[in-house]
Structure 1
Amino acid sequence: MSIHYSGALRRSNGVVAAIAKQLKSVNLKAVNRITVSFNPFNENAKSTRELLVHLTSPKIIKTNPNCIVKPEVLCNLQPAEVKFSLIDPVKEQTKLKEIRFISDNLTTLELLQLCNKHITPLAPKEDVTATPLQTKSSKAAGSSRKVIKRK
């Protein structure tokens, strides 16, 4: 008599792999400005600072080069906060001016998951028009070249 195996067939890749997976799907096209405010002396500011580093990476900035990321270092006891100001078409569509995350008790992974859940779906859809694939033979048949010989 055998006991059925229960559980995962393989181990998880860990938090770093989960963060990398979340970073691949971040899209900031719906965002005009990101303001990250934190108190550096607070114990819970580490995840907010890590999010700031991830949001300023070149891959994430390529999703919206016009997005301004502004860090605010606080010296008071306000909780850490990430503010996403939306672009005008998204403001009209959702009736929201900005989206705020109070990030005091959240991990970096949870902040990225919230960003993918609330910010990424607001990105405007791109019109992708399919252009027909042209092969070398179709290019040659479609365009007749005139060879001009010079004397």
Structure 2
Amino acid sequence: MSIKVGGTFSRSGGIVSAIGKQLKLINLKAVQRITVTFDPFQENAVPTREFLQHLSSPRTVQSNPSCLLKSEVVCDRRSPSIVFQLTPTAQAEAKLKKIEFNSANLSTLELLQLCNKHVSSLAPKEIVSSGLKTKSEKKAGGTKRR
């Protein structure tokens, strides 16, 4: 009997590496404010709290330092939710004022994937500069001074 080929040359790094990969892709430039609401006594609030911890990491905050991160701890048996309020330019592009995730039955990895899919995709594209020019390239491409 032979063993079936799985189709990959290497194994997955696991859930921790998948979360790390999604964290590298997060871009909050299209977001003005993030509000995370959860009830700490519910068992399905753990992934939402972990997502909040990942959003408050220095690398994620560095993508948009002017983005406000607010956490609301409630005690009324509400399901956890995450609300992203968009900047005016992103609102015009997406025709939405806010994006809301009901995170009751989602894992931390799924929350990060949804954030990258719906929020990071609205971030303005960075303009790539042409690079540095040497003095000879500047002289060849520029006008002569007299």
Per the shorter chain, which TM-score range?
Answer: 0.7 to 0.9
2:64 alignment counterpart: 64
1:124 alignment counterpart: 124
Q: For 2:2, give the aligned amino acid.
A: I
Going from structure 1 to structure 2, the CA distance change for 1:9 and 1:80 (only over 3 Å counts) comes to same
2:5 matches 1:6: yes
Query: Who wins on radius of gyration, i.e. which is larger?
Result: 1
Rounded to whole Å, the distance in 1 between the matches of 2:12 and 2:18 is: 9
Q: Which one is further off, 48-57 or 8-17?
A: 8-17
- The CA deviation at 1:4 is 6.1
Structure 1: gaps of 5 or more residues:
143-151
1:22-76 Cα deviation digits (max 9, x unpaired): 0000000000000000000000000000000000000000000000000000110
2:110 alignment counterpart: 110
Identity of aligned residues (%): 50
CA RMSD of aligned residues (A): 1.6
- The CA deviation at 1:5 is 3.9
Deviation above 6 Å: which 4+ runs of structure 1? none
Q: What are the within-5 Å matches in structure 2 for residues 35-54 of structure 1?
A: 35-54=35-54
Q: For 1:3, give the aligned amino acid.
A: S
Rounded to whole Å, the distance in 2 between the matches of 1:88 and 1:36 is: 21
Scaled by the length of structure 1, the TM-score of the pair is 0.84
Structure 2: gaps of 5 or more residues:
140-146
1:29 alignment counterpart: 29
1:146 alignment counterpart: none
2:89 alignment counterpart: 89
Scaled by the length of structure 2, the TM-score of the pair is 0.87
Q: For 1:123, give the aligned amino acid.
A: A
